[in-house]
Chain A
Amino acid sequence: MKNLLGREIPDYIDGYGQVKPFQGSFSNCGVKTRSAVKLTSVLPNDQKVLSSLDDLFDKLKITDGMTLSFHHHLRNGDYVLNMVMEKLAARGLKGLTVAASSIFPIHAPLVKHMETGVVTGLITNYLSGPVAEAVSRGRLPKPVIMQTHGGRARAIESGNLKIDVAFLAAPTADTYGNINGVYGKSACGSLGYAVADAEYANITVAITDHLVPYPANPIEISQVYVDYVVKIDSIGDPQGIVSGTTKITKDPVALIIAKRAAQLIKASGLVREGMSFQTGAGGTSLAVAAELKKIMQDEEVVGSFASGGITGYLVEMLEEGLFRSLLDVQCFDLKAVESYRDNLSHQFMSASMYGNPHTKGAVVNNLDIMILGATEIDLDFNVNVTTGSSGVIMGGSGGHSDTAAGSKLAIVVTNLMKARLPIIRDKVLTITTPGESIDAVVTERGIAVNPRRLDLLEQLSRTQLPLMTIEELKQLAEKITGIPKPIETLEEIVAVIEYRDGTVIDVVRKVKM
């Protein structure tokens, strides 16, 4: 069958099940239910602390085929996922599904577990490094399910994604399972992506290298959700968790793109009292924040909030009074961790609060301006941030589709050409975010506005910004780069791309190698 975007997707996919095709960004909304949670009540004299993972697995009866979840707040410094899977492999378990909010290069040992049948399923929002390559080569018997940050929270809360055991890497935990991310040698700040796991898993285990006396202060994830606390030597490598500082790019082309994007935002009329803004931590995205800051200062505007993964740059904007609040699902650098710990205006949000479409209102719904990246964009403004130029998986939505859908103005900022390849294509290889939620593409050589946004086109036509159609932008790039050969794929599906509402927006097929 074809979904709304014309993607050919089977009705039924082995290892995934029946496919609900994507029907539009808000077609699958309305009355929804949250799943009931099975729990074992803890009595006054029960102890939660265990001194090793072996003690834990002696006590916990993990069986073949279970689904185990992990959060990615320790990013490329995470030790917990590898340690847990190593122990379970040694115990001879097979057919496990790993539901990790993101997979990084540090998780390379998963490849071995995939090859030996310990892990047969993977559910994640972002996939990079050796595991991404192995999945793309078809090393997993079931296709990986790729979700969005909001979509994962939705799947967990609705019971679509049933977690048997959630393993929460906890930078600080007390003896009764209260957790925070702001203290300890592995401090990572907000634990927004771990909340749904903690609340909805059958069993929740906190794994910490910083066990403190009861009660921990602050409490981000509460004792009422946590069954066990395991003390280990180290949950992660601080070098890989947060970077010291996040710097704005000096690349002149990226700065031109950022400046144009900021001018577009100004022309859209959204620079006004109470405005809200989100951007990524990448060089160009952050440069947009810097350009927007100048405009906000000129216009003497105070925004209501900036959201998402938070960087030191947004913290500076908060401290300088440019925003009243930050809503933080994840901290990207040490400055953000410190601010989140010390400043009451720098607030917590869970992945569900951030982007789950089946709640009584996600933060993305209140977002005015969203700055996004892209690996490829097509003439219908569909964006690919999942597969790279060789067709291999190298990313995923994360919050891309969530924020694009919710925000009033979703702007993709990108170089028109990257590594001699044009970014605008007739059709993207993989649709991560539907074109209907993208409003404009800003490149160093021109700006294309989605024809659905006639209002924006009209506003911009009164400026000197270099407006073009997306077709013109594509031709401009192809004049320099030529037209790349299409990537040849096989029938075999290696990944199912779920939109935030759980419908299937696309699939990734195995690449001919």
Chain B
Amino acid sequence: MQALRRSMLFMPGNSPRMLQDAAILGADSIILDLEDAVSLTEKDSARILVREAIKTIDYSAVEVVVRVNPLDTEFGAPDIEVIARVRPNTLLIPKANEEEIRLVDKTLTKIEAEEGFPSGGIKIIALIETALGLENVYNVIKASPRTVGVLLGGEDLTADLGIERTKEGEEIFYARNKVATVCRALKVDAIDTPFTDTNDHEGLKKDTARGKGLGLTGKAAINPRQIETIHSVFAPTQNELKWALRILEAMEEAEKEGQGVFSLDGKMIDAPVINRARRIVDQGVRLGLISGEGGAK
């Protein structure tokens, strides 16, 4: 079963204490950051620290993602060279474009072969934070079969667009739509940009719901206290679960009776509705809200 990515928590790669506790904070994924959180003078030491953390600490309960430095800096290539050899689950590639993703894919394939890791095991998430990257997001994702998702970087994107970033986020409406649509089309995760006011939980809730409403599948977090709120937005509600379970039950009944199309509560149930119900039940099972057999817990 594919891991859930409702929340992806950024953790600075140069803080031993945070690296030690990263796995227990409740996030689905942790992003060990070698880029923005680490000053130029600490790039080397953070790289070594993150490598040792992945080797030593039990991160089995979470997806370990490492944000490497951009490939057009002197740090990007050594980051991948060192980190890939300790087999993180995923690399987050900043300012992603097509050529870079292709280059990362190639490098990873080489390292996997050298280390005897299964080929294609290390995944990629593309950080879309430039206007060009956004317009080209379809090709960015297609550049490597390793790509399992896109993370929208609202701060850098609005800077690139020369527009103001606001709490309401009207300015990234198009970007969210575009990323959600393309990701849905290519069946990869669409992760929303983080909400930067870590003390405004109501604001976070609204912002997360806005992203979810546009089709995004998860959200980045910059503080562990944001995780619970994000999960509460992305979790299916009890009503949604009940509805979805009823649909699937009715479908099984209909199949037994040899009916192709059926109705429930006077409404015709067709394939898109069934698919939606399946997705909700699937998520409910993964979150432990219902048991694998479909019965409510």
Genuine A/B complex: yes
Q: Mark B1-39, 1 if CB is under 8 A from A, else 0.
A: 000000000000000000011001110000000000000
Could you jot down 6 A-B contacts, CB within 8 Å? A253-B25, A256-B24, A444-B21, A444-B24, A480-B20, A480-B56
Q: Mark B51-67, 1 if CB is under 8 A from A, else 0.
A: 00000111000000000
B20 touches A256 (CB 8 A): no
CB distance from B50 to the nearest CB of A (A): 16
**Chain B count of residues within 8 A CB distance of the other chain:** 12
Q: Mark B102-120, 1 if CB is under 8 A from A, else 0.
A: 0000000000000000000
Q: Is A252 an interface residue (CB 8 A)?
A: yes
Task: Across the interface, name the chain B residue whose C-beta is closest to A415.
Answer: B21
**Chain A count of residues within 8 A CB distance of the other chain:** 11
Residues of B within 8 A of A (CB): 20-21, 24-26, 56-58, 223-225, 288
Q: Is A250 an interface residue (CB 8 A)?
A: yes
Q: Is A464 an interface residue (CB 8 A)?
A: yes
A250 touches B225 (CB 8 A): yes
B57 touches A252 (CB 8 A): no
A253 touches B24 (CB 8 A): yes
In the complex, A162 Cα to B268 Cα: how many Å? Answer: 88
B24 touches A445 (CB 8 A): yes
CB contacts (< 8 Å) of A417 on chain B: these are 20
In the complex, A444 Cα to B23 Cα: how many Å? Answer: 10
CB distance from B279 to the nearest CB of A (A): 24
CB distance from B287 to the nearest CB of A (A): 11
Task: Across the interface, name the chain B residue whose C-beta is closest to A481.
Answer: B20
Q: Is A479 an interface residue (CB 8 A)?
A: yes
B288 touches A464 (CB 8 A): yes
Task: Across the interface, name the chain B residue whose C-beta is closest to A443.
Answer: B24
Task: Across the interface, name the chain A residue whose C-beta is closest to B24.
Answer: A444
Task: Across the interface, name the chain A residue whose C-beta is closest to B226.
Answer: A252
CB distance from A10 to the nearest CB of B (A): 42
Taking a contact as CB atoms closer than 8 A, the residue among B24, B25, B58 that contacts A479 in the complex is B58
CB distance from A423 to the nearest CB of B (A): 14
Interface members, chain A 405-444 (any B CB < 8 Å): 417, 444
Q: Mark A213-248, 1 if CB is under 8 A from B, else 0.
A: 000000000000000000000000000000000000
A255 touches B225 (CB 8 A): yes
**What 13 new A-B contacts, CB under 8 Å, besides A252-B225, A256-B26, A444-B21?**
A252-B21, A252-B25, A252-B223, A253-B21, A253-B24, A253-B25, A255-B224, A256-B25, A417-B20, A445-B24, A464-B288, A480-B20, A480-B56
CB contacts (< 8 Å) of A250 on chain B: these are 225
In the complex, A256 Cα to B225 Cα: how many Å? Answer: 10
CB distance from B285 to the nearest CB of A (A): 15
In the complex, A256 Cα to B56 Cα: how many Å? Answer: 22
CB distance from A184 to the nearest CB of B (A): 37
